[in-house]
């Protein structure tokens, strides 16, 4: 927000929402920011907006007053991910939202951290059914039981830490990371520090600084990773439900956001949760209002069950894009619907907006040309004009694996 990027589609500002959450009051501030434009939900549950001019000082002040922007030095480090069901999931081991708040405050109060890479991120997993454990975060804090967590740093071997010591351990990791950053010429990622020292040496340094020993634990592969947060979820309080709404192309016009806000105000607590799967969750809907909420969501032409068959990144609004993904997505939408095909269009190989598995993945490789993939295999290269016919000729393939993102 404080350093918007000029792009082909206008000035790009990104609002970092802690845990993807926005209260009713904060949503009012967001609506003032985007005026009659649109927001784009990112793969970290943040919000992006493109406009002709950067946000005015008045808008920035309002967003800062609403705690949607942190201190000017460390706002870019507020990359704090929670499960959208944090605090309300029926199977969760613990509520991680308090840690997210504590970490946000730590960043706010420690402006010397400004030198860390802006990509530094933390995920807090409370053992929710809608899990974030397979999503990319530099640090993952994962609840084992109500008294302990395991902390991982881009390596499968983590340390088991009692809950009351979690923030101390995180601060020690950041202390080591700061020292490593000071000795480097560029802003290194945390994983570079881990690669440089070796994970065992990192844990040893943490133990030495804190004068404690921690057991090691290896990460298990999540056999049922969450790829969406859609549908009606029972909350841990019997009377309440959370409703996950799919957002086509992860974009929402101001009027649509306003309408979802009204539904949340009327039937929930006014809060919306933007998810890492680029959908929206409306929590705390009383059982007596679920039917009416679903009716109003359907009237908006939004679905709570179907993943959008076609998703696309910002395309030509982004300086790196080779292809007009947004226009091509609209052109393909009828075809994909009629043939039950799903596809993601990406303007380049960074795959910023690819968060759910699709049958096909089309990556812009040169102006107006896509490379088409299925399950990590490249099928062909074709122009955007040919894409429709090519896709139509590859019907009935099983859905591709998310590991296709490793292409
Ligand atoms: S995937 Fe590439 S083109 Fe698309 S938004 Fe990301 S960087 Fe830009």
Q: Which of 352, 362, 367, 407 to mutate to test the pocket of ligand 1 (most atoms within 8 A of CB)?
A: 352
Q: Residue 238 burial (CB < 10 Å; 0-12/13-18/19+)?
A: exposed
Nearest to 232 by CA among 268, 204, 196, 188: 268
> Which two three-digit tokens encode residue 21?
């959450």
CA–CA gap between residue 342 and residue 307 (Å, rounded):
9
Instruction: Examine the domain organization and report whether 325 and 294 are in the same domain.
Output: no
Nearest to 201 by CA among 171, 180, 228, 181: 180
Report the Cα 311 to chain-centroid distance in Å.
15
Query: DSSP readout, 35-49?
Result: TTSEEEE-TTS-EEE
Q: Which of 42, 43, 48, 347 to mutate to test the pocket of ligand 1 (most atoms within 8 A of CB)?
A: 347
The atom of ligand 1 lying closest to the CA of 351 is: 1
Q: 229 lies in a domain? A: no
Q: Tell me how far the alpha carbon of residue 16 lies from the centroid of ligand 1, in angstroms.
A: 18
The atom of ligand 1 lying closest to the CA of 314 is: 5
Nearest to 116 by CA among 204, 193, 203, 169: 193
Sign of the torsion angle spanned by Cα atoms 189, 194, 196, 197: positive
Q: Tell me how far the alpha carbon of residue 346 lies from the centroid of ligand 1, in angstroms.
A: 6
Residue 320 has pLDDT above 50, yes or no: yes
Q: 205-238, pLDDT tens digit by residue?
A: 999 999 999 999 998 777 677 777 899 999 998 8
Q: Tell me how far the alpha carbon of residue 320 lies from the centroid of ligand 1, in angstroms.
A: 6
Alpha helix (H) residue ranges in 251-316: 254-267, 290-299
Place of tokens 């059982």: 287
Q: Residue 35 burial (CB < 10 Å; 0-12/13-18/19+)?
A: exposed
pLDDT reported for residue 276: 93
Domain of residue 152: give its range.
5-218
Q: Assign residue 276 the CATH number of its domain.
A: 3.30.70.3340
Can you tell me the mean pLDDT for 8-33?
Answer: 93
CA–CA gap between residue 68 and residue 53 (Å, rounded):
20
Ligand 1 binding pocket, CB closer than 6 Å: 313-314, 318, 320-321, 346-348, 350-352
Whether 83 and 132 have beta carbons less than 8 Å apart is answered as: yes
Q: 119-129, pLDDT tens digit by residue?
A: 999 999 999 99
Instruction: Examine the domain organization and report whether 57 and 142 are in the same domain.
Output: yes
Instruction: Examine the domain organization and report whether 200 and 328 are in the same domain.
Output: no
Residue 51 pLDDT grade (very low, low, confident, very high; cuts 50, 70, 90): confident
Instruction: Examine the domain organization and report whether 46 and 193 are in the same domain.
Output: yes
Q: 189-206, pLDDT tens digit by residue?
A: 999 999 999 999 999 999
CA–CA gap between residue 285 and residue 214 (Å, rounded):
41
Q: Tell me how far the alpha carbon of residue 364 lies from the centroid of ligand 1, in angstroms.
A: 9
Instruction: Examine the domain organization and report whether 163 and 209 are in the same domain.
Output: yes
95 φ, ψ (degrees, to nearest 5) = -90, 115
> Which two three-digit tokens encode residue 383?
């122009």
Q: Tell me how far the alpha carbon of residue 350 lies from the centroid of ligand 1, in angstroms.
A: 6
Q: 267-300, pLDDT tens digit by residue?
A: 999 999 999 999 999 999 999 999 999 999 999 9
Instruction: Examine the domain organization and report whether 273 and 365 are in the same domain.
Output: no
Nearest to 15 by CA among 39, 38, 36, 51: 39
Q: 113 lies in a domain? A: yes
Last residue of a domain, one of 184, 218, 252: 218
Place of tokens 């397979």: 134
DSSP, collapsed to helix, strand or coil, labels residue 202 as helix
Total length of the chain: 407
Instruction: Examine the domain organization and report whether 264 and 214 are in the same domain.
Output: no
Q: Assign residue 366 the CATH number of its domain.
A: 3.30.413.10
Q: Tell me how far the alpha carbon of residue 376 lies from the centroid of ligand 1, in angstroms.
A: 19
Q: 57 lies in a domain? A: yes
Last residue of a domain, one of 272, 299, 326: 299
Q: 236 lies in a domain? A: no
Instruction: Examine the domain organization and report whether 65 and 193 are in the same domain.
Output: yes
Instruction: Examine the domain organization and report whether 251 and 109 are in the same domain.
Output: no
Residue 403 pLDDT grade (very low, low, confident, very high; cuts 50, 70, 90): very low
Query: DSSP readout, 228-263?
Result: ---EEEEBSSTTEEEEEE--GGGEEEHHHHHHHHHH
CA–CA gap between residue 250 and residue 248 (Å, rounded):
5
Q: Tell me how far the alpha carbon of residue 312 lies from the centroid of ligand 1, in angstroms.
A: 9
Q: 164 lies in a domain? A: yes
Pick from 7-11, 80-84, 101-105, 396-400: least confident: 396-400
Model's pTM, two decimal places? Answer: 0.85
Q: Which of 5, 311, 324, 346 to mutate to test the pocket of ligand 1 (most atoms within 8 A of CB)?
A: 346
pLDDT reported for residue 405: 39
Instruction: Examine the domain organization and report whether 278 and 356 are in the same domain.
Output: no
Q: 227 lies in a domain? A: no
Beginning with the edge strand found earlier in the chain, give each strand of the sheet holding 310-312 in spatial order: 310-312, 343-346, 360-366, 369-374, 377-383
Query: Atom 6 (ligand 1): residue with closest C-alpha?
Result: 352
Q: 39 lies in a domain? A: yes
354 φ, ψ (degrees, to nearest 5) = -90, 100
How many domains are contained in the chain?
Answer: 3
Instruction: Examine the domain organization and report whether 205 and 258 are in the same domain.
Output: no
Instruction: Examine the domain organization and report whether 210 and 256 are in the same domain.
Output: no
Q: 231 lies in a domain? A: no
CA–CA gap between residue 113 and residue 111 (Å, rounded):
5
Residue 407 has pLDDT above 90, yes or no: no
Q: Which of 318, 368, 373 to mutate to test the pocket of ligand 1 (most atoms within 8 A of CB)?
A: 318
Last residue of a domain, one of 218, 250, 265: 218
DSSP, collapsed to helix, strand or coil, labels residue 89 as strand
């Amino acid at each position: 927000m404080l350093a918007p990027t000029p792009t082909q589609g206008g000035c790009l500002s990104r609002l970092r929402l802690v845990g993807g959450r926005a209260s009713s009051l904060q949503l009012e501030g967001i609506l003032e920011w985007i005026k009659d434009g649109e927001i784009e939900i990112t793969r970290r549950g943040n919000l992006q907006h493109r406009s002709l001019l950067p946000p005015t000082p008045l808008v920035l002040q309002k967003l800062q007053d609403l705690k949607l922007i942190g201190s000017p030095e460390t706002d870019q480090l507020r990359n704090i991910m929670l499960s959208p069901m944090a605090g309300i999931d029926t199977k969760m081991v613990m509520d991680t939202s308090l840690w997210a708040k504590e970490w946000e405050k730590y960043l706010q109060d420690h402006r010397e951290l400004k030198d860390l890479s802006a990509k530094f991120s933390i995920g807090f997993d409370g053992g929710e059914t809608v899990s974030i454990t397979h999503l990319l975060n530099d640090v993952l804090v994962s609840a084992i039981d109500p008294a302990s967590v395991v902390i991982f740093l881009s390596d499968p071997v983590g340390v088991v830490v009692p809950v009351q010591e979690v923030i101390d351990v995180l601060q020690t990791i950041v202390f080591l990371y700061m020292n490593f950053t000071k000795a480097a010429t560029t802003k290194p990622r945390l994983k570079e520090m881990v690669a440089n020292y070796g994970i065992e040496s990192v844990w040893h340094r943490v133990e030495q600084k804190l004068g404690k020993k921690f057991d090691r634990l290896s990460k298990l592969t999540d056999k049922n990773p969450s790829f969406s947060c859609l549908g009606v979820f029972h909350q841990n309080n019997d009377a309440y439900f959370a409703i996950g709404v799919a957002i086509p192309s992860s974009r929402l016009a101001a009027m649509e956001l306003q309408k979802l806000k009204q539904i949340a105000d009327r039937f929930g607590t006014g809060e919306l949760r933007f998810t890492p799967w680029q959908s929206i969750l409306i929590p705390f809907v009383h059982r007596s209002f679920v039917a009416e909420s679903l009716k109003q969501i359907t009237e908006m032409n939004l679905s709570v069950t179907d993943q959008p068959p076609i998703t696309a990144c910002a395309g030509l609004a982004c300086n790196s894009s080779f292809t007009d993904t947004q226009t091509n997505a609209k052109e393909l939408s009828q075809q994909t619907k009629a043939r039950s095909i799903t596809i993601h269009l990406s303007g380049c190989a960074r795959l910023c907006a690819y968060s759910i598995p699709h049958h096909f993945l089309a990556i812009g490789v040169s102006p107006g040309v896509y490379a088409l993939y299925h399950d990590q295999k490249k099928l062909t290269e074709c122009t955007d004009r040919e894409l429709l016919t090519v896709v139509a000729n590859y019907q009935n393939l099983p859905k591709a694996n998310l590991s296709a993102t490793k292409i």
